[in-house]
């Protein structure tokens, strides 16, 4: 995946991820460990520059460069169909539904 607009400070995508329970992560938290087995389809906002807020981080390709980017979970969807409707309504063209 790559993005077309290098001037934006954030990018909205639809992605299949596990939603972390807390900042400790699955190595230190039992609830986060359980969440690893329950991936969700989410609207994520990835930030191209680090902010002054603590956020989870994921590896992704933005503007042709692979890196680690902060993100916020904006919405969680119960189905792909609902995610597609939401994406069309909100102009979200980037999708990654592959399970890693």
Asked if the model's pLDDT at residue 15 lies above 90, the reply is: yes
Lowest-confidence segment of 5-9, 84-88, 95-99 by average pLDDT? 5-9
**pLDDT digit string (tens) for 24-80?**
888 999 998 888 888 999 999 999 888 888 888 899 988 788 999 999 999 999 999
**pLDDT attached to residue 1:** 43
46 burial level (CB within 10 Å; 0-12, 13-18, 19+):
buried
Find the Cα–Cα–Cα–Cα dihedral 46, 26, 15, 8, rounded to 10°. 0
| Helices and strands, number each (H, E), in the chain | 2, 5
* Six token digits for residue 78: 């119960």
Q: How far apart are CA 36 and CA 73, in angstroms?
A: 16
């Amino acid at each position: 995946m790559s993005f077309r607009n290098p001037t934006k400070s954030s990018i909205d995508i639809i992605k299949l991820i596990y939603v972390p329970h807390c900042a400790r992560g699955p190595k230190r938290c039992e609830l986060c460990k359980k969440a690893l087995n329950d991936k969700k389809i989410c609207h994520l906002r990835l930030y191209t520059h680090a902010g002054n807020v603590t956020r989870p981080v994921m590896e992704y390709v933005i503007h042709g460069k692979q890196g680690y980017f902060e993100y916020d979970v904006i919405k969680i969807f119960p189905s792909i169909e609902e995610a597609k409707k939401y994406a069309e309504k909100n102009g979200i063209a980037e999708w990654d539904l592959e399970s890693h």
